């Protein structure tokens, strides 16, 4: 396969990125990959930080999305540990827990790139055995909602929630009886 950029050399770097379900493939020769920033390793070798930095070019997204927010000459520094944003970019590590708050406006674009557009972890339940778990979680949430609705003295909505809880419990009982037979 030929390099997509120069069309002269054999492609030796194959980069696939999936963001929000959209797949993007890039096939470049080593020289073009280095020029495009896909392979920007130093003589120190390949570290996890170098790998992630090159996989997810943070600076590009930050500069594009925050040009209006942050003046390029402004140096952002954590008050807790004195770590500057440029030092964070080089090290790939924070100095203290306060760094998360200090660099907050820069982190969401990074997290979105790393986690395919998601910024919140909600967990994952296997589909085959997850049916009962999902129902149990929904029942727990409905019970909390029911308490709040009763405190607010909204009894019509409370009756609807109560009926929904009963139906879900009945579904669970039916599933357990059907599975035991």
Report whether pLDDT(100) > 80: yes
Of 41-50, 63-72, 99-108, 128-137, where does mean pLDDT reach its minimum? 63-72
DSSP 3-state assignment of 66? coil
3-class state of residue 154 by DSSP: coil
pLDDT given for residue 41 in this prediction? 52
For residues 93 and 67, the model is more confident at: 93
Name the more confident of 171 and 71. Answer: 171
Percent pLDDT > 90 in the chain is 20
Question: Span 67-85, mean pLDDT?
Answer: 66
CA distances from 94 to 53, 80, 81, 108, 163 (A): 15, 11, 9, 15, 49
Identify which of 106, 115, 101 has the alpha carbon closest to the alpha carbon of residue 66.
106
Is residue 66's pLDDT more than 60?
Answer: no
Q: Which of 2-11, 61-70, 126-135 holds the top average pLDDT? A: 2-11
pTM of the model: 0.34
């Amino acid at each position: 396969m030929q390099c997509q950029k120069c069309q002269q050399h054999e492609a030796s770097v194959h980069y696939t990125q999936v963001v929000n379900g959209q797949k993007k493939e890039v096939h470049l020769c080593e020289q073009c990959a280095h020029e495009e920033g896909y392979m920007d390793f130093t003589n120190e070798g390949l570290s996890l930080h170098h790998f992630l930095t090159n996989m997810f070019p943070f600076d590009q997204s930050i500069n594009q999305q925050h040009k209006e927010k942050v003046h390029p000459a402004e140096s952002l520094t954590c008050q807790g540990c004195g770590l500057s944003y440029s030092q964070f970019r080089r090290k790939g590590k924070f100095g203290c827990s306060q760094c998360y708050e200090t660099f907050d406006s820069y982190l969401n674009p990074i997290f979105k790139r790393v986690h395919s557009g998601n910024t919140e972890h909600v967990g994952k339940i296997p589909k085959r055995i997850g049916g009962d778990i999902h129902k149990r979680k929904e029942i727990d949430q409905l019970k909390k909602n029911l308490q709040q609705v009763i405190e607010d003295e909204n009894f019509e909505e409370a009756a609807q929630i109560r009926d929904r809880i009963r139906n879900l419990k009945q579904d669970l009982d039916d599933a357990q009886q059907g599975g035991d037979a």
